[in-house]
Amino acid sequence: MNSSSDKSGTISLPVQSLNLDSLKKIKKLRKIVLQFEMELSAKGDKQIKLVIYPLYKNKRRGKFGEPITMDDNGSEKISLPLPLTFGNLELSHDDITQLRRTKTKNLIFKPCLYEKNPHAAYLVTDDSGQTAAYANPTPPGRPS
Please state, as a whole number, how many other Cβ atoms lie within 10 Å of the Cβ of residue 110.
20
Q: How much is the mean pLDDT over the chain?
A: 77
Considering only 11-15, 107-111, 136-140, which range has the smallest mean pLDDT?
136-140
Confidence band for 143, pLDDT divided at 50, 70 and 90:
very low
Length of the chain: 144
Interacting residues of 115 by C-beta distance below 8 A, sequence separation 6+: none
pLDDT for res 142: 45
Strand-pairing partners, residue 109, are 16, 124
Q: Tell which wins on pLDDT, 35 or 72.
A: 35
pLDDT for res 106: 83
Contact at 8 Å (CB) between 107 and 132? yes
